[in-house]
Amino acid sequence: MSFGVLLSIAQALYVPTGSAVSGDAYRVVSVSRGRLQAEEIGTGRVVNLDDQNLVRAALAGTIKRGDVIQR
């Protein structure tokens, strides 16, 4: 059981290095109050994105929590 917990934690923290993320890259956190909340990959700072196309995509399920988006 402890192996399963460790594996789950490792999967949550793992960031693939094969996909070089450059520029303005964000990891989706949630949608709240008509804004997409995301975490900047480089700094870890949480930002609110007012892009309604991204909000619609998140509400439709096209963009999910943990997905990396670029702007």
Work out the burial of residue 35: count CB atoms within 10 Å of its CB; fewer than 13 is exposed, 13-18 middle, 19 or more buried: middle
Per-residue pLDDT tens over the stretch 14-24:
655 545 555 68
Per-residue pLDDT tens over the stretch 39-62:
999 888 999 988 899 899 998 999
Q: In terms of DSSP H, where are the helices of 1-71?
A: 2-13, 52-60
- Distance CA(29)–CA(9), nearest Å, equals 17
pTM of the predicted model as reported, rounded to 2 decimal places: 0.61
